[in-house]
Structure 1
């Protein structure tokens, strides 16, 4: 038996419930969890590549399939559908541990990529995005629970920083590769090319997970929550209702949109910790903050390459380079906050991050309004990525610190549900407002996301727990 394997087995023997703090720890790539970390980082890498690549080529996809009217829907559908996947994965993980839901989520992700990659029409592509959106979102919850149950508390922030760092290479090469595939071969390879890499990434995690199965075991006494599943389906449907309202004439578009937003708020309450919608201090406000900043950031991100292609006549590869700067700065800022550790509190990290994000989005809005140099948009979006990277890992760390073991799946799912619903509703509202405004392409969309970011600035201090 190798020395690394002996050490891992010793860790398992000493505890079957919590990570070991008395062992010499090292980092995420220390021998006890090296292959597990590499497998998780690889899955995040592939998810990042898919997101960045699709964002880069979607303007071409919409043009090729004559589906410009469904552009925003192609992004909001996987986000909204992912809510259902996250609820199922969270409940399943709490009951049986992360392995089974992780495998099922990976299978759905691959099936969705096949459908999207072979789609003859834009509606079929949106269907494929729905399926792989469910699978892609469901993957995240088991990964978070693995971090909570396998890694010592002192290493978790560095693992989440590693997740962010796994975006670095895709952010550098993803847009360029996606642009090359779309221009020289076919945009379909952006979807189909990822499939061959998912299986090896999953295989890297399988044996390490089996070795720590006692640490990651679920609690069969946790009941299946059919009501939460029903609420998640309702929330996803309502969020999509906001997107589809753009196809209606006045005044029905506004009636349906406002009704759908209200229904989303009602449906999401059972999916969030108590007090989330009123920004109760501590964990509830943390979940809400992630919802808000995700809406502001991702609601802007999908339009930036479109802006550069449509107004400045950039190629897809060059337009996608704006995502490269943000990905690099996100990973760098995430590494920095991990190194700073307790020297910067969670609430201070969130305050700094939201302030930087809001300022950057204002600059992006001015570029769209005034026709400023695209270089300014590149710089601003790089700053936005840094703001996100500095605060995003702290959301996960804070929620896990404040969660009892039996609720880790629920609360981790709440974080990712908030992220998906925040982005989906933000995209829907941007499309709705833009459809009602004559002229000023992209300006209306960015006005909406700036307003969302300012809400985040106002709420940032509530991340601090009430007792602190």
Structure 2
């Protein structure tokens, strides 16, 4: 039996098309994420939506929380197949709505629908991995998912920038919708013949409560984003009040004692949320900084993101090979230190006009590439079959809630300060604080492999 397990591969006959299809879905999600970051300055200008720039990112991340909770519960109750199908369909629908939008509100509706699909797709794929692949292959699967970011890293930002500059920004959304539909068909054909396990009875009352809380978190996170379009004396109190309510509402959606950074799974989830908030809030304003402060075109601003994406993919592969030897605490320290270094470089660029953004941001991508796969593997290692959906959704909820709130608060700060060097500096100072705070749970990740 051990010989059979040792010969198992993510590319064997039983799993090859699932691995390929899931990696393709990750690939096109990566293309879209990188494309949005690159073309958003062009979109906000074309649709006269500068005041709502941040909500185009934060809104998608916020509604993804609803998709995560729904997909996690669906996966635990009935298996991940149906949850994945609905999630990918919503993702495609959102891309089409945004791609055909003629006003900023229409564009934002598409982004909100897309968020529902993105969140559900991520959780469902994690549960597919947990059910279909043996534990010894989990690290390789997530390394393959990380590798699915390599080609988007090479061509995604540049291609999106070139499309926006020479064709039309709409194709950055419509093209991804068509390609995702093709990848979706591949995985649908294969998954219908595979046993992904049976669901377990669920407490419907508890599920309704979790869904309601997810809606509250998402709605208030969107409200924080919209506060940037209000007068500061109204926007800031509204945003701060929303943040307090979100803090209470998100607690039941996460493992117990997550906000207290308890050792083990709670710290894994909290580290993900804080690191994501620091990195993605900063990244949302990197192209904006390059185009406003240094006069880059959208094409060249896209190229500037490539080094970070390369570093992310390379560090993910390195973690897959030597992660066990490095250990969880050392990985967290190195990764978060790299992210802080990147943010300091960009802060100096914003303050003094020193073009440290491109090289500096590469350290951030490397740090995230080292940290992210490790946190995902640890989450599955801490999970049993009955709570894989909950724990996977909790990890993604922390990530997207942290990112959405950080981006929304950053957008409010930029709007209040009126743009310019001071506004960008405030964004990156916030992100540095979040990255430093992530060190606390990052040193308390525990040793999930020893518990199994």
TM-based fold match above 0.5: yes
Distance 2:25 2:188 in 1: 13
Contact kept? 1:234, 1:264, Cα under 8 Å: yes
| 2:39 matches 1:57 | yes
2:363 maps to: 383
> Does 2:74 match 1:109?
no
Change in CA separation of 1:44 and 1:21 when aligned onto 2, cut-off 3 Å: farther
What SS does the corresponding residue of 1:275 show, helix, strand or coil?
A: coil
Paired residue for 1:297, among 279, 295, 300?
Answer: 279
Q: Hey, what does 2:430 align to over in structure 1? A: 448
Trace 1:47-446 onto structure 2 (pairs within 5 A). 47-213=29-195, 216-224=196-204, 225-373=207-355, 376-437=356-417, 439=420, 440-446=422-428
- CA drift of 1:187 comes to 0.6
Q: Distance in 2 between matches of 1:30 and 1:386?
A: 30
CA distance in 1, matches of 2:396, 2:214: 12
Q: TM-score, normalised by structure 2?
A: 0.95
Unaligned runs of 5+ in 1: 1-13, 15-19
CA contact (8 A) 2:323 2:331 kept: no
Partner of 1:10: none
| Mapped contact 2:413–2:423 kept (Cα < 8 A) | no
Unpaired segments of 5 or more residues in structure 2?
none
Question: How far apart are the structure 2 equivalents of 1:122 and 1:185?
Answer: 19
Q: Distance in 1 between matches of 2:243 and 2:31?
A: 31
The 3-state SS of whatever aligns with 1:314 is: coil
Deviation, 1:432, is 2.0
1:433 offset after TM fit, Å?
A: 2.3
Contact 2:88 2:121 survives alignment (8 Å): yes
Aligned residue-pair number: 446
